[in-house]
A and B are shown apart, each in its own frame.
Chain A
Amino acid sequence: MTTQILTYLFVGASFVLYIGIAIWSRANSTKDFYVAGGGVHPVVNGMATAADWMSAASFISMAGIISFMGRDGAVYLMGWTGGYVLLALLLAPYLRKFGRFTVPDFIGERYYSKAARIVAVVCLIFISFTYVAGQMRGVGIVFSRFLEVDVTTGVIIGMAVVFMYAVLGGMKGITYTQVAQYCVLIFAYMVPAVFISIMITDNPVPQLGFGSEVNDGSGLSVLEKLDTVLLDLGFNAYTQGSKSTIDLFAITAALMFGTAGLPHVLVRFFTVPKVSDARLSAGYALAFIAILYTTAPAVAAFARLNLVDTVHNTSYEQAPEWFNNWEQTGLVGWQDKNADGIMQYSAGEQNEVEIDRDIMVLANPEIANLPGWVIALVAAGGVAAALSTAAGLLLVISSAISHDVLKQTLMPKITEKQELLYARIAAAVAVCIAGLFGIYPPAFVAQVVAFAFGLAAASLFPALLLGIFYKRMNKEGAITGMLVGLIFTFSYIVYFKFVAPELNSAQNWLLGISPEGIGFIGMLLNIASACTVSHITPPPPKEVQGLVDNIRVPAGAGLAPTH
């Protein structure tokens, strides 16, 4: 069988699986739709959270980004995993005890204010749509590269599948499909990683192979060889960073606090039965995530080394087969500047080889000469990563609309049945908007990824944290804090990314912090202004203080009202 047919078969079979699960786990009540009935086992929830979290960017792009950033790529590795420690220790158990359906639910009740709820909804929708646009695009790209259909068709097929299980099954359908998607994506990521590790170091465990000697008899370790080779070509050494320490610190912090404040991740912890399950579940989630996140930097190093070895100073006639295959997609390119028929790869002017970072994962099976079924598996894994994240995001958008905007604010009289119908309609509309973003990607999508994390760190995270740990925090303080954090972070990013992109360099940045890391400063401003304002305004009412006491005690989560 050709790779093409195998790919159709694998991707098709995975779709049948997802839709089958969706039909089996239809939602019958709003509780099913919003929080999967609240009875999900912590391991199952951990796996679903891992799939929810690991997006097309984690699966396809992250190893490639690290490959070209070298040491500085650690900001993503630590930032996107360290946030789970904050989530497990500071937020998840308390939100589970609170026991409602959405993140704005908590903010609205804790700060006894519709205004606070609406500010939270605005943050949530902005964060989630930014994110989801990239996912649908990811689906389209995988389809167009592996199945040779155009991006639009790919996006429409992806939309149809997400539509089936998100609209029909709600959180319940999404949870169980995400478990299947996790299995597909982690298998698809690990198989090529293990093979490439064996190929370069003879060690089958990529995490260890990463530190082992290269098996070419040079006696150098992978990282030593990579440093030597890259320095020769005029690049920075792989193990030396180029970002300033303060910027590394701020970016890592913004990603960590942002991760802990992402609504589609937080809401997953509303689905487990008990408070202790929420803590345990966060541990499982991070363990499942860590499998991919500790493999990615190994893949990054192997792929960069392999790339230089096979491409640099090779005549174009003898270029490896994968190079020619991927040249057609425009992801790699060669321009014979000195007309010698030989590909020269280096830093600076005389470089002749252009490489898109996404290729590091997508072309890995071909670079390592793996059989067709592995290539098909990677395609199915990329689609699984993108679909699982897209579905989780679409669900929080639709529940924010049907629950927080309609039921709790505009139309309190609707019945549960009507609310469920509105939730489905909102999910359907959100899928279509996300699809449009995928087909006509706004040019700024790649530019605004920093937004999602920066805004979550500067707006939602402090409001949740203070709501749990600082009983004196009142609505005036929380709303001021969210607005200060949001406006400051938003303006800083917009200024450097869109208004004056020519000034976007270290000497113009505030304290040397790039727009990617500014969410950290936004968070500090949020906390400072919230505490100041709450001190000069009246304390929250007695019932709210009672609510804070209540969420701090694990006992009784099963009794929490379910609407």
Chain B
Amino acid sequence: MAHQQHTDKGQDRSLDVQKEQASISQENLKGYWQANLSLLAQLLCVWFAVSFGCGILLADWLDQFSFFGFRLGFWFAQQGAIYIFVVLIFVYSWRMKILERKFGVDDDEVTK
């Protein structure tokens, strides 16, 4: 029965989980997750600051400064925030790779 089959897969899955998590210590898992959360918090602060901060809330004040021919607040809203978003994702990707190696939860070896 297909439904039966589905539950079997569910069991396989939990076996996989047990196998893989047995090889990684609980402290490492916890440390990895805490480090991930703190990295997320830092990057999301930057995300908020450049878009909602510089692009909207502080934009009028920033407009008194000139930046490559733009008023600064306007530049953040229509150009700068977007560039910083791109950089944020690559920084996240790079820092996470380092964290994962450090805590031994990297996904490299598994996929061969």
User: Do B112 and A558 touch across chains, with their CB atoms under 8 A apart?
Assistant: yes
Further pairs besides A78-B51, A415-B2, A553-B21: 9, Cβ < 8 Å? A77-B77, A78-B81, A89-B88, A212-B69, A223-B74, A276-B108, A290-B85, A297-B79, A555-B107
A390-417 interface mask toward B, CB cutoff 8 Å, 1 = contact, 0 = none? 0000000000000000000000111100
Contact A554 to B105, CB < 8 A, known contacts A245-B56, A273-B111, A413-B2: yes
Q: Is A221 an interface residue (CB 8 A)?
A: yes
| Residues in B neighbouring A239, C-beta threshold 8 A | 63, 71, 74
User: Do B29 and A549 touch across chains, with their CB atoms under 8 A apart?
Assistant: yes
User: Do B16 and A559 touch across chains, with their CB atoms under 8 A apart?
Assistant: yes
Q: Is B65 an interface residue (CB 8 A)?
A: no
User: Do B17 and A252 touch across chains, with their CB atoms under 8 A apart?
Assistant: no
Q: Is A198 an interface residue (CB 8 A)?
A: no
Q: Which of A281-289, A423-431, A501-509 touches B?
A: A281-289
Size bracket, chain B contacts = 35 or more
Which of these, A81, A297, A412, contacts B2 with CB under 8 Å? A412
User: Do B74 and A71 touch across chains, with their CB atoms under 8 A apart?
Assistant: yes
A248 to B112: give the CA distance in the assembly, Å.
48
Taking CB as reference atom, which chain B residue is nearest A71? B74
User: Do B55 and A78 touch across chains, with their CB atoms under 8 A apart?
Assistant: yes
User: Do A248 and B56 touch across chains, with their CB atoms under 8 A apart?
Assistant: yes
Interface of A is mostly: helix
Min C-beta distance of A561 to chain B, whole Å? 5
Would you mind naming 23 contact pairs between A and B with Cβ atoms under 8 Å apart? A74-B78, A78-B55, A81-B85, A82-B47, A82-B85, A89-B43, A89-B44, A90-B40, A208-B68, A210-B70, A211-B69, A279-B92, A280-B90, A286-B85, A287-B86, A297-B78, A546-B17, A549-B21, A553-B32, A554-B105, A554-B107, A557-B110, A558-B111
| Residues in B neighbouring A297, C-beta threshold 8 A | 78-79
Interface residue ranges of A208-222 to B (CB < 8 Å): 208, 210-213, 221-222
Q: Is A543 an interface residue (CB 8 A)?
A: yes
User: Do A553 and B105 touch across chains, with their CB atoms under 8 A apart?
Assistant: yes
User: Do A77 and B78 touch across chains, with their CB atoms under 8 A apart?
Assistant: yes
A550 to B21: give the CA distance in the assembly, Å.
8
B23-36 interface mask toward A, CB cutoff 8 Å, 1 = contact, 0 = none? 01000010011001
| Residues in A neighbouring B32, C-beta threshold 8 A | 553
User: Do B86 and A249 touch across chains, with their CB atoms under 8 A apart?
Assistant: no
User: Do A81 and B97 touch across chains, with their CB atoms under 8 A apart?
Assistant: no
Q: Is A147 an interface residue (CB 8 A)?
A: no
Taking CB as reference atom, which chain A residue is nearest B47? A85
Taking CB as reference atom, which chain B residue is nearest A296? B78
Q: Is A293 an interface residue (CB 8 A)?
A: yes
User: Do A286 and B89 touch across chains, with their CB atoms under 8 A apart?
Assistant: yes
Taking CB as reference atom, which chain B residue is nearest A297? B78
Which of these, A210, A249, A414, A546, contacts B57 with CB under 8 Å? A249
Q: Is A313 an interface residue (CB 8 A)?
A: no
User: Do B16 and A556 touch across chains, with their CB atoms under 8 A apart?
Assistant: yes
| Residues in A neighbouring B77, C-beta threshold 8 A | 71, 74, 77-78
Taking CB as reference atom, which chain A residue is nearest B20? A556
